[in-house]
């Protein structure tokens, strides 16, 4: 991602977050914040609005995307969408957490993020449901390449490899 592209994205996020008056309703509504007080969605907004910078903690990756913050925000800010855009910026820079990189790599190589469960297969059979179709690796690769996800995955894998 070029510096100009990143600046443009940050400016857009800053504009979207500007109406925030730091009431804290988003944090008090957040189920992740309840168990991990360091993960405060309000701080992500504050960092963008006050400094024009993405906070370094990387807490955007812990968002459960439950949309409680969006539904309760008196200013109508879509904080969940802001956090997703922060994830996109972070991953484009090769800064995705290793657990996310591993899950995406599994999706690319196998077509699934987590291996299937025999319990799920058994339950599907009991309910008379057909077996789940096996993913087609060629389709997955085509999708990854068409969306730019392949380039982002490769950048994150390279950063992960150099960190070891």
34 or 1, greater pLDDT: 34
pLDDT, tens digit (0-9, with 9 covering 90-100), for 3-19: 888 889 988 988 898 89
Got the DSSP string for 114-157? S---HHHHHHHHHTTPPPPPPP-HHHHHHHHHHHTHHHHHHHHH
Using a cut of 0.85, tell me whether the model's pTM lies above it: no
pLDDT band at 123 (very low <50, low <70, confident <90, very high): very high
């Amino acid at each position: 991602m070029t510096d100009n592209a990143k600046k443009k994205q940050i400016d857009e996020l800053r504009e979207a977050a500007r109406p925030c008056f730091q009431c804290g309703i988003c944090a008090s509504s957040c189920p992740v914040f309840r168990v991990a007080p360091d993960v405060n969605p309000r701080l992500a907004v504050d960092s963008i609005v006050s400094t024009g910078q993405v906070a370094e903690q990387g807490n955007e990756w812990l968002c459960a995307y439950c949309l409680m913050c969006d539904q309760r925000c008196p200013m109508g800010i879509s904080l969940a969408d802001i956090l997703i855009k922060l994830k996109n910026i972070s991953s484009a820079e090769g800064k995705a957490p290793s657990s996310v990189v591993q899950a995406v790599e599994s999706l690319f190589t196998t077509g699934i993020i987590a291996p299937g469960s025999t319990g799920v297969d058994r339950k599907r059979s009991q309910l008379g449901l057909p077996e789940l179709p096996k993913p087609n690796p060629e389709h997955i690769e085509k999708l990854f390449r068409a969306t730019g996800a392949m380039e982002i995955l490769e950048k994150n894998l390279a950063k992960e490899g150099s960190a070891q």
